[in-house]
Amino acid sequence: MDYNNILFELKENIAYVTINRPKQLNALNKATIEELNHALTVVEDDPNAKVVILTGSGEKAFVAGADIKEFAEFSVEEGKLLSAEGHQKLFNLVENLSKPVIAAVNGFALGGGLELAMSAHIRIASEHAKLGLPEVSLGVIPGYGGTQRLTQLVGKGKAFEMITTAGMIGAEEAEKWGLVNNVVSAEELLATCEKMANKIMKNSPKAISSAIVAINAQYREGIDGFVTEITEFGKCFGTEDFKEGTTAFMEKRKPEFTGK
């Protein structure tokens, strides 16, 4: 697939996925969602891609939301489909990717942009980032998982505050709320994400993908996360990574994981 709205690069086992519509503050139109879906599916299937760093082009925005110009004339049915397709093609895909996704929040993360960052497993923000779910100021509600994932991350009270006021918070406050893991200067943002990616990549890819399944199970309706943990824990014992990790420990050397 040719990408016109994103940049995609695999370098030293890190997949860099950059939303590249800086003139529209990287707003997520349909074409961008399709391209992100394609790139992330490629990452999922490529054993050389071990961690994803997701960011936006330019200095101003991570992503300023779903593309308002594209959906302004939509009907009820079209609105519902926009939301359902977004969940399936992008936001659930990011959350359930078997490789950790780090969102490098390099500016405005609003509406669908914050929802995208919240789908990622880890969020690092630059000092000037501004985060919010301003949808009710447009007469809609967050439709890419924001009502659920914001509540999971910051609790019901703060989620009500952010969604009903449609206000933005700065990076420092977002860190206090637990909405981002860490805040660094804009210059340090990518290097900080890469440092974290490199730390992650020292560990077993198999165990990491099991950890993602188990952590996400907490939020799945009708699924007992503890039962999922037991299953995933057991599965690890059948992997080459487990043999390598435990053998390396006993031989007092660093493990060399193959992800098998």
66 binds ligand CAA (CB under 6 A): yes
62 binds ligand CAA (CB under 6 A): no
24 binds ligand CAA (CB under 6 A): yes
Within residues 84-123, the interface with ligand CAA by CB under 6 A covers 108, 110-112, 115
Around 190, how many Cα atoms within 13 Å sit in the side-chain half-sphere? 12
Which element (helix H / strand E) includes 101? strand 101-105
Distance in Å, CB of 115 to ligand CAA, minimum: 6
Distance in Å, CB of 67 to ligand CAA, minimum: 4
Residues with catalytic annotation? 115, 135
**126 by DSSP, 3-state: which?**
strand
Distance in Å, CB of 82 to ligand CAA, minimum: 7
The residue among 67, 186, 167, 182 whose CA lies nearest residue 122 is: 182
Choose, by CB under 6 A, the member of 6, 19, 49, 64 that binds ligand CAA.
Answer: 64
The DSSP code sequence of 218-236 is TTSTT--HHHHHHHHHHHH
Distance from C-alpha of 234 to C-alpha of 225, rounded to nearest angstrom: 14
138 binds ligand CAA (CB under 6 A): yes
Query: Which residue(s) pair with 104 in the sheet?
Result: 124
How many chain residues bind ligand CAA (CB under 6 A)? 22
Stretch that binds ligand CAA, among 42-50, 65-73, 192-200, 210-218 (CB under 6 A): 65-73
Sheet holding 6-11, edge to edge: 6-11, 14-19, 51-56, 101-105, 122-126, 182-184
Distance in Å, CB of 108 to ligand CAA, minimum: 5
Provide Rg for the chain, Cα atoms: 19
Distance from C-alpha of 18 to C-alpha of 155, rounded to nearest angstrom: 29
CA dihedral 132, 138, 139, 140 (to 10 degrees): -50
Stretch that binds ligand CAA, among 12-20, 62-70, 176-184, 196-204 (CB under 6 A): 62-70
Around 198, how many Cα atoms within 13 Å sit in the side-chain half-sphere? 8
Stretch that binds ligand CAA, among 34-42, 120-128, 143-151, 183-191 (CB under 6 A): 143-151
Q: Which is nearer to ligand CAA, 64 or 122 (CB)?
A: 64
Q: What angle do CA 17, 23, 24 make, to 5 degrees?
A: 80
Choose, by CB under 6 A, the member of 14, 15, 17, 25 that binds ligand CAA.
Answer: 25
Q: Which is nearer to ligand CAA, 141 or 227 (CB)?
A: 141
Stretch that binds ligand CAA, among 23-31, 156-164, 182-190, 208-216 (CB under 6 A): 23-31
* Residue ranges binding ligand CAA (CB under 6 A): 24-25, 27, 64-69, 108, 110-112, 115, 134-135, 138, 140, 142-144, 146
